[in-house]
Amino acid sequence: MKAGQGECEFFSVKTEKKNAEKLHQWLVARQLLEHNFETMPSADFIFFPIKRKLSEKEAKDLKKIVPSFAMNRLLFSPATKQPKSLKEALREKLSQEEFSKLVSSFDTLGNIAIIEIPEELEKKEKLIANALLQSNKSIKTVCKKLGAHQGKFRVEPVKIIAGEKNLVATYRESGCVFKIPVGKAFFSPRLGTERMRIARQIKPGEVIGAFFAGVGPFPIVFAKNSQMEAAFAIELNPVAVKFLDENILLNKAENRIFPVQGDVKKIVPKKFKDFFHRIVMPLPKGAENFLESAMISAHPKGCVIHFYAFVPAANPYEKIFSLIEKTAKKLCKKTRILHKQKVRAFSKETIQIVIDFEARD
Ligand SMILES: C[S@@+](CC[C@H](N)C(=O)[O-])C[C@H]1O[C@@H](n2cnc3c(N)ncnc32)[C@H](O)[C@@H]1O
């Protein structure tokens, strides 16, 4: 066979056009598709370039899904134009009405993308997900959100709809690396700035209470970017704790971060009375219920508490300030507000804030 400009010979799999989507999915999931070359359509068939010959077992598996496929070697042309965005990749594949419903923004954690599929586009979810894989080469898995963050573990349920069958993301932040079980433990890249803002305030020798630790982003970023003595990372979700353990080892922080599985309210007043120089409380829904535990574990000579909350945008601080005052009074502590700021907008009416305050005897 004589090759034209840029053409290359590959093994290919051919199937009827009606089975093309199924075959495409199967190849992408096994990283077999040669993405940089165009597929080749004929009147009734479509030919996909693949990275290598299918093994006997792969061919047998594929036959169960696409009984009529065939394999041979062919010349393929290089892919001409790579869509630059999800919108560009879908402009000609969705009707105008469908296109207007498309949510083109999405979250990524490492090479896993998490997208929202409006109900009206559910039948097109595979098409949308494949367009995302095509327009963003760093994305290897696409999953869709099945609901909001929920339950006491604050997890966001998801389902894989295209790409590799992997839900453990590898995410890098501030010189640290995290393994995150997407859909099974909470993680938000949006709090990265906050983690570094606090890390910069930590003085050498501090002992830190990392409450609601999740897979460990706060204490691990602190360990990497400060001279803290130790952090006790307290977390209820057993899956999160398993990854917290792994992330501590991955970041070589096992001599400075000590994971504790359980309920902050039960563990902290008993085991950490008068203990911490600094406490971080990233549980924006309901951290008010843990203020007393935090103050009990504050070092008598002074402890800085970083308190997060979802509050009404119209009047963000008043209620929390009076709660801090009331709790301090009950425990005979003195408090002093050091800093307050909006962290991010959550919805039109609700924002996430952080209040840094000192508690001492
Ligand atoms: C909003 S997430 C924050 C996780 C992590 N700090 C991060 O920023 O990725 C809150 C975490 O608190 C945990 N949690 C909820 N209630 C808890 C409790 N009573 N004691 C300990 N952890 C709790 C949840 O399982 C969840 O992982």
Q: Tell me the mean pLDDT in the region 315-326.
A: 95
Relative to beta strand 230-235, strand 257-261 is parallel
Cα separation, 13 vs 86, whole angstroms: 26
Expressed in angstroms and rounded, the spacing between residue 283 Cα and the centre of ligand 1 is 6
- Look up the CATH number of domain 186-360: 3.40.50.150
Cβ–Cβ contacts within 10 Å for residue 168, how many? 15
Contact 269, 246 (CB under 8 A): no
Q: Find the largest Cα–Cα distance for the chain.
A: 87
Residue 195, ligand 1, Cβ within 6 A: no
Ligand 1 atom closest to Cα of 267? 20
* Ligand 1 in reach of 139 Cβ (< 6 A): no
Question: Structural domain boundaries of the chain?
Answer: 8-76, 86-166, 186-360
Ligand 1 pocket check for 237: Cβ under 6 Å: yes
358 — pLDDT class (breaks 50, 70, 90): very high
**Which distant-in-sequence residues (6+ apart) come within 8 Å of 175 by Cβ?**
224, 225
Query: Quick one: average pLDDT of 166-183?
Result: 97
Task: Report CA(63)–ligand 1 centroid distance (Å).
Answer: 46
Taking CA atoms only, the protein residue closest to ligand 1 atom 4 is: 214
Of the candidates 73, 82, 54, the residue with the CA atom closest to the CA atom of residue 7 = 73
Question: Would strands 141-145 and 112-115 be described as parallel, antiparallel, or unpaired?
Answer: parallel
Amino acid at 280: V
Burial code of 210-227, b = ≥16 C-beta within 10 A, e = fewer?
Answer: bbbbbbbbbbbbbbbbbe
Fold exhibited by the domain 86-166: GMP Synthetase; Chain A, domain 3 (3.30.300)
State the distance from the centre of ligand 1 to the C-alpha of 11, rounded, in angstroms: 49
CA distances 260 to 199, 228, 305, Å, are 21, 18, 19
Per the prediction, the chain carries an average pLDDT of 93
Residue whose CB lies within 8 A of the most ligand 1 atoms, among 283, 291, 308, for a mutation test:
283
State which ligand 1 atom lies nearest to the alpha carbon of 285: 1
For 336-345, write each residue's pLDDT tens digit.
Answer: 999 999 999 9
What is the per-residue pLDDT across 4-45, written as a single tens digit (0 to 9) for each? 677 889 999 999 988 888 898 899 888 898 877 889 888 889
| 188 C-beta closer than 6 A to ligand 1 | yes
What distance in Å separates the CA atoms of residue 140 and residue 320, rounded to the nearest whole number?
42
Ligand 1 neighbour 191 (Cβ under 6 A)? yes
Most confidently modeled range among 78-82, 93-97, 175-179: 175-179
CATH no., domain 8-76: 3.30.70.2580
Instruction: Name which of 18-32, 108-122, 198-212, 218-232 the model is least confident about.
Output: 18-32
